[in-house]
Structure 1
Amino acid sequence: MASPTSDQSTDKWLTIYPTYLDKKASVSGGRRVSKALAVENPSIQEIRLVCERLKVPYVLEINKLYPRDFLNPGRIRVSLNQPGAECKSKTKCEFLRELVQLIAQLKSRNEPPTPKAATSSSKSSKKKKK
């Protein structure tokens, strides 16, 4: 479901940028959900995983940029009114809330980072000259 068929037009599909869900972004910076619900630094790949889980038709556009946050590339076009989708949301606002809740439950978010291999932490002691 990563790309629509050639006769389907994505012009009227919902557009979702990662900044809409970012806890660090301000409302004037582009955040669309409340700070209590938002997640920190959501990636376009996490949004894609949730769309696949919900069986919602989507198109991933990696080269597109959000004008208010052009350092975080990518956007997703989503169609909510397709039959067979497990999405309960009818509006964009409800869908964004559902996305945030499912992104927070992803394994990549819940697993603690693996500790890096211990490098040689022995410091060479140098004698000070008097």
Structure 2
Amino acid sequence: MMGHEGPYVQLRPPGGGREWDAKPENVRLADENDRLRASIVEVRLKAARTVGMSEDEPAVPLPDPATLNNLQLTEQACVLCGKRLFRDRFLSTVAYMERGRKVTAQLWACAPDCDASATTPRPPTSS
């Protein structure tokens, strides 16, 4: 928690990133799964920086968040080709509006580069 603004508390992900507002009744302490996920994201970010990827300037044009499905917005599927992620690389963090509130999501893609020649994502294949 970063602070508060009016009736909302301001939150920021572990390791930094964009902050967002939340109602106090919707906030809870991070549990074991939350802490594990945060540490995995931190390792991924460090690995992306190690191989020369820039966290601030993605190497590929980013898709519009409105065109992405839930799996792509929750770091489970590539935002470029739509396939399930097994080896991945960080592209960027985006903010978008969902049901009247600002939401942030980390965008991940296949590593090494997937075979998506266009930036329009396809739905993930079942595998």
Q: For this structure pair, what is the TM-score category when the shorter chain's length is used for normalisation?
A: 0.3 to 0.5
TM-score (norm 2): 0.38
More strand by share: 2
* Structure (1 or 2) with the larger CA radius of gyration: 1
TM-score (norm 1): 0.37
Structure number with greater CO (CA < 8 Å, separation at least 6) is 1
